[in-house]
A and B are shown apart, each in its own frame.
Chain A
């Protein structure tokens, strides 16, 4: 009886908070049939927005994967001054509101900012362009790979790496043949979480992008823009594409999890 109650509460909570709203989005999208939704999705601006989101994700995820692995190795395997600080700073993007991140980038790269003047003199456009949007996305999705890899690295210890060294393997060989295969599932899981975060990023990108339709408008920004323009069908249609991507990512994680247990 007690167990049933627990299950009821857990599932009920999920239904109210997650599934309900999502279901309504689906329903409202197709309320007037497929055509309006399809038209909204195939408009040039929407296609551009979706492509832009995928492009930013495709740049940010590999960078954060490499950075996350390097950081995790530094935190777990090395001793250096400032290590505690690095460990704490990696979590900063989780604590900081993305809007604050966007404003910080504004202060750095804006016309009056630290780098803004120099960049403008050299004809490099950062704000209201792809570079700032990529930087903002990298920032908010920074911790996931490192946070997945750190505990795995701690758990496997460094004896296998020492063994590889005594057997003549260089640092590079040890990394590719021993360390990386040992942490591969943690990396994969971190990459999935990073991807999900990149696809859904709104706040920081909203600040630095300038929201120029057909130029610097990502999928999430497009949803907001459609909504504000009273094109609810359009907003819902793009939302659904984003939701499907997120669901695909989640399914990928549940498919991968049991494999991890066997490895």
Chain B
């Protein structure tokens, strides 16, 4: 099922959470809403779910206007950052909840719950209570619960935000795999660009209540539409008034007319690449990423003065570059 967001705005008192946001999510895709905290990404997700109402604009689910529809009638699955587990129910009852309120036959519920317990790898834990599960297990239970009524859309609000790094990486991979199996239209909110790059087909970058750019992970990296996107998706540094990626910085030990003079302050070996940190005369920091062969060819050392020049750069309007 597709999701269309049309010119949605939302305020909380004086705070503008969303400012005229429009977004298309294709049926069956996995889309990330990426942005810093307070950028409006969670609010947008909650408006799609019907947990918040937009001040202006509309939401279309499968082409039908759902702007005024109650969350109960939208047929969306929602996964919360802090799990929102029903603490007084067993894992099995948590997962069965959406089916029980729909008054499905008992045998069908039992079968579906067993199937989902298997899907989220919680076999044998069905009779436990949420308090007896680890964070990762609780979130998998949350996912199974959201998937049980076979929603047309799966929405995840920072689903891995409360977990530690190892479990997070594991669940990330697992979510991608799950999406390949279930292929329900999925939108998830994250502030972690790596997470967004790793699992989504499409990333929508948000900043200060506005949508900065929507595109495939690679397009955002290669063709950022704004300084914000360039800085937020991948590393970027100021070099002579332009933004440049570390591996697009060319270094030369000899004076070059159109290059910036800088001093090497740190050299780090990263396997194939060498990371070189530099200070220019004006106190700016630059990072260059050279292939190891190139680094040895140039014979660079810490403390050396070099001339840095961007191979490829992007110049954005002055107010944006800040």
Contacts and interface: CB of A to CB of B under 8 A. Distances in A.
A159 B76 CA distance: 16
B88 A168 contact: no
Chain B CB within 10 Å — which of A162, A181, A182 has the most?
A162
Contacts of A165: 50-51, 70-72
A168 B86 contact: no
Nearest to B85: A160
Interface in A155-170: 159-160, 162-170
A42 interface: no
Given A160-B84, A181-B88, A182-B87, A166 B102 contact: no
A73 B87 CA distance: 19
A175 to B, nearest CB: 12
A41 B82 CA distance: 58
Given A162-B51, A163-B78, A169 B101 contact: yes
Contact of B84 (A162, A169, A177): A162
Contact of B102 (A159, A162, A164, A168): A168
B146 interface: yes
Interface in B265-280: none
Interface residues of A, number: 17
For chain B, what secondary structure do more than half of its interface residues adopt (helix, strand, loop), or is it mixed?
loop
A263 B87 CA distance: 9
Contacts of B75: 168
A160 B86 contact: yes
Interface string B106-135: 000000000000000000000000000000
B80 interface: yes
Contacts of B82: 159
A163 B84 contact: yes
B71 to A, nearest CB: 5
A166 B87 contact: no
Interface string A145-185: 00000000000000110111111111001000110011000
Interface string A96-135: 0000000000000000000000000000000000000000
Interface in A222-263: 263
B80 A163 contact: yes
Contact of A168 (B51, B80, B84, B101): B101
Given A166-B49, A167-B97, A169-B101, A182 B88 contact: yes
B77 interface: yes
Interface string B146-188: 1011000000000000000000000000000000000000000
B138 interface: no
B145 interface: yes
Nearest to A162: B51
B98 interface: yes
Contacts of B148: 167
Contacts of A169: 72, 97-98, 101
A165 B155 CA distance: 14
Contact of A164 (B70, B88, B97): B97
B219 to A, nearest CB: 32
22 contacts: A159-B82, A159-B84, A160-B84, A160-B87, A162-B71, A162-B80, A162-B84, A163-B145, A164-B86, A164-B97, A166-B49, A166-B51, A166-B76, A166-B146, A167-B145, A167-B149, A168-B72, A169-B98, A169-B101, A170-B72, A170-B101, A177-B101
